[in-house]
C-alpha cells in the first residue's frame, strides 16, 4: 500500500516537472535566424527584455566587420539605449517578414524607424544585418548625446538607481527638474519679449511691430518650454514607451507654439497693412485685407491640424485621400458657393470698386461696406443692408459713382426780363470769376453762358466740375458757390426770377 502511494507521488512530480519544462521551452526565445527584416530588427530589443536576456544573441544580426564580439555586444546595448532615448518605438508588426523584401528604390534595404534614418538593415549573403555603417552612425549618436551619462550613472549612489516600474529614481527626479526648467525658461522668454516690447514703445517703434512682439510673447514662452523638453528627455534614458510619449508631447507643443504665433501674427499683419499710409488709397485693400486675414487663419488651422495628426501617427495620407473624394462630392453639391468664390476672386483682381464707393448694380444702389468670399454687402440710402452674391455681381454691369475724379454740376440761373444786356454780361462775368476763384472747381472745364430765352426769365447756364470724393464735400462747395452767386446778383442789382437747379445723375445723394 505504501509503495503504491509513493509511486503515485513520483509520477505526479515527474508529470509536473515535464509540464514545467514544456512551459519553459515554449516561453524560451529562439536564436535569431536573421532571415527577414522583422526578425533582425526584433532580435536586438527582444533579447534585452524580460528574464531571458543575452547581448550575444542581441548582436547575432550585426555585421561583424572590424568589431570584436565584445564591441558588438556593447553596440547592441547602446542601440537599445539610443532608440529608447529618442522615443523611436519600432512597430515590428509593420516591418516586412519577406526575406526578398526590396524598398521603393528596389534595394534590399529597410529603415526600422524614420527618426534614425542612418541606422538601417541590409540583406547580405542571404541574411538581413544591421550594417557596419549603421553601427558607426549609432556610435556617433551615442557619443554625442548619451556617452557622458555613463560616467554620471556609475558614480550615483545606489538609492538613486532604485527602479520603480523600470524607471530609476534618478530618472524620475531628473524628469521633474526638466519640467521645472521648462517652466523657468518659459517665464524668462515671456519677460524678455515684454521687455523688448517696452523698449520698442519708448523708442517710438512702428505700432504694428510693437503689437507683433506682444502677440509673440505667449507662443515664445510655450516654444521655449517645448524645446527644453525636446532637448532634455533623450538624456534621461527612459523606457522607449515613455520617451515616445515625451517626444510626441514636445513635437505637439512646438507645433502648437509656431502655429499659435502664426495665427496671432495674421491679425497683427493685417492691421498693419490696413493702417499703412502707402496703402490707404489702394482700391479694395480694405476688403482684401480681411479676406486675406481669414484665409491665413484658415490655412494655419488646417496645416496645424494635419501636423497634429501626424504627431500622433495618424495616417494623414488616407485622410487626404478621403478628403479629395469628399471635396469632389462637396464641389458638385455646392457649385453656387464655388461660383461665388471665383466671383470674389474676379472682383479682387479687377477691382471695379473699393470699400466706401457708392455703386449701382442692376437697379440696386448703395455704399460698399464689405466684400467677402461669398457676397458683397451694400448699405442703401435708407440705411438697409443688401447682400449681393459675388457670382451675380461679377457678371453684372456696375456703375461706380465713387470712382469719379470730379463731379459734374449744372446750374440754370433765371434772370428777370427787365435785366439789361449789360447787366446780363456783368452777371455772367461775375459767375465766371466766382468759379475761377474756387479751389475745388476745375479751371479747364467750366462754361457760363446765356443759353435760353425762357418763358419767364433769361436763363444763364453754368456747367462745371467739382474735385471732391465725398458727397458732403460736394454739397458744401455747391452751397458756397450759390451764396457767392447770390451776393454777386445783389451787388449788381440783378434780380433772379425763378432759379432752379437741374441735377445730373452723377450728383445723386450717396449714403452718408
Q: What are phi and psi of 360, to 5 degrees?
A: -115, 130
List of domains in the chain: 37-154 (no CATH), 167-314 (no CATH), 340-402 (2.30.30.60), 405-507 (3.30.70.100)
> Could you list the pLDDT tens digit for every one of the 512 residues in the chain?
444 545 555 445 545 444 444 334 334 567 888 999 999 999 988 888 876 788 899 899 999 888 899 899 888 988 888 888 888 888 888 899 999 999 989 999 999 998 899 999 999 989 999 999 999 998 888 888 776 766 677 677 888 878 787 788 888 888 899 889 988 998 888 888 778 777 766 666 667 677 777 778 888 888 888 888 888 887 787 887 788 888 888 888 888 888 888 888 887 777 766 666 554 445 455 556 676 777 777 778 887 777 777 766 666 676 666 665 555 555 555 566 667 767 777 777 777 887 778 888 888 888 888 887 778 889 888 889 988 888 888 888 888 877 777 788 888 888 888 888 888 899 999 989 988 888 888 887 888 888 888 778 888 898 988 888 777 788 888 899 999 989 998 898 888 875 454 434 444 444 43
Say how many residues make up the chain.
512
Contact 91, 152 (CB under 8 A): no
The answer to whether the pTM exceeds 0.85 is no
Here the cell at position 59 is 548582436
329-358: b (≥16 Cβ within 10 Å) or e: eeeeeeeeeebbbebbeebbeeebbbbebb
Burial classification of residue 162, based on how many CB atoms lie within 10 Å of its CB (0-12 exposed, 13-18 middle, 19 or more buried): exposed
Amino acid at each position: 500500500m505504501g509503495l503504491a502511494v509513493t509511486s503515485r507521488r513520483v509520477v505526479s512530480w515527474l508529470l509536473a516537472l515535464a509540464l514545467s519544462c514544456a512551459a519553459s521551452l515554449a516561453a524560451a526565445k529562439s536564436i535569431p535566424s536573421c532571415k527577414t527584416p522583422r526578425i533582425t530588427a526584433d532580435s536586438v530589443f527582444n533579447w534585452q527584455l524580460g528574464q531571458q536576456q543575452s547581448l550575444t544573441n542581441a548582436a547575432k544580426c550585426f555585421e561583424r566587420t572590424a568589431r570584436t564580439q565584445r564591441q558588438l555586444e556593447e553596440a547592441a546595448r547602446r542601440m537599445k539605449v539610443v532608440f529608447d532615448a529618442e522615443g523611436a518605438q519600432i512597430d515590428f508588426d509593420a516591418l516586412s517578414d519577406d526575406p526578398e523584401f526590396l524598398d521603393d528604390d528596389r534595394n534590399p534595404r529597410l529603415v526600422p524607424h524614420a527618426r534614425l534614418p542612418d541606422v538601417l538593415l541590409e540583406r547580405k549573403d542571404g541574411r538581413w544585418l544591421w550594417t557596419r555603417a549603421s553601427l558607426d552612425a549609432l556610435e556617433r549618436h551615442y557619443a554625442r548625446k548619451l556617452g557622458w551619462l555613463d560616467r554620471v550613472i556609475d558614480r550615483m549612489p545606489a538609492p538613486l538607481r532604485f527602479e520603480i516600474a523600470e524607471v530609476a529614481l534618478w530618472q524620475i527626479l531628473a524628469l521633474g527638474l526638466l519640467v521645472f526648467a521648462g517652466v523657468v525658461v518659459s517665464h524668462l522668454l515671456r519677460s524678455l519679449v515684454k521687455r523688448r516690447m517696452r523698449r520698442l514703445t519708448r523708442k517710438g517703434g512702428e505700432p504694428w511691430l510693437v503689437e507683433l512682439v506682444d502677440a509673440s510673447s505667449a507662443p515664445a514662452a510655450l516654444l521655449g518650454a517645448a524645446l527644453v523638453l525636446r532637448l532634455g528627455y533623450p538624456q534621461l534614458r527612459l523606457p522607449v514607451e515613455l520617451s515616445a510619449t515625451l517626444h510626441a508631447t514636445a513635437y505637439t507643443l512646438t507645433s502648437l507654439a509656431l502655429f499659435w504665433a502664426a495665427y496671432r501674427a495674421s491679425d497683427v499683419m493685417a492691421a498693419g497693412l490696413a493702417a499703412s499710409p502707402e496703402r490707404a488709397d489702394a482700391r479694395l485693400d480694405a476688403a482684401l485685407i480681411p479676406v486675406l486675414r481669414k484665409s491665413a487663419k484658415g490655412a494655419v488651422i488646417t496645416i496645424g491640424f494635419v501636423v497634429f495628426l501626424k504627431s500622433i501617427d495618424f495616417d494623414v495620407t488616407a485622410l487626404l485621400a478621403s478628403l479629395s473624394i469628399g471635396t469632389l462630392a462637396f464641389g458638385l453639391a455646392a457649385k453656387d458657393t464655388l461660383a461665388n468664390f471665383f466671383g470674389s476672386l474676379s472682383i479682387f483682381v479687377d477691382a471695379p470698386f473699393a470699400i466706401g464707393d457708392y455703386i449701382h448694380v442692376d437697379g440696386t444702389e448703395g455704399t460698399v461696406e464689405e466684400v467677402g468670399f461669398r457676397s458683397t454687402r451694400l448699405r442703401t440710402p435708407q440705411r438697409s443692408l443688401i447682400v449681393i452674391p459675388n457670382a451675380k455681381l461679377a457678371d453684372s454691369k456696375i456703375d461706380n459713382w465713387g470712382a469719379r475724379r470730379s463731379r459734374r454740376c449744372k446750374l440754370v440761373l433765371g434772370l428777370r426780363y427787365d435785366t439789361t444786356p449789360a447787366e446780363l454780361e456783368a452777371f455772367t462775368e461775375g459767375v465766371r470769376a466766382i468759379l475761377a476763384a474756387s479751389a475745388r472747381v476745375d479751371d479747364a472745364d467750366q462754361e457760363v453762358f446765356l443759353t435760353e430765352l425762357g418763358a419767364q426769365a433769361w436763363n444763364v447756364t453754368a456747367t462745371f466740375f467739382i474735385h471732391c470724393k465725398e458727397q458732403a464735400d460736394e454739397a458744401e462747395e455747391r452751397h458756397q458757390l450759390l451764396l457767392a452767386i447770390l451776393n454777386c446778383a445783389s451787388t449788381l442789382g440783378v434780380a433772379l426770377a425763378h432759379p432752379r437747379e437741374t441735377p445730373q445723375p452723377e450728383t445723386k445723394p450717396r449714403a452718408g
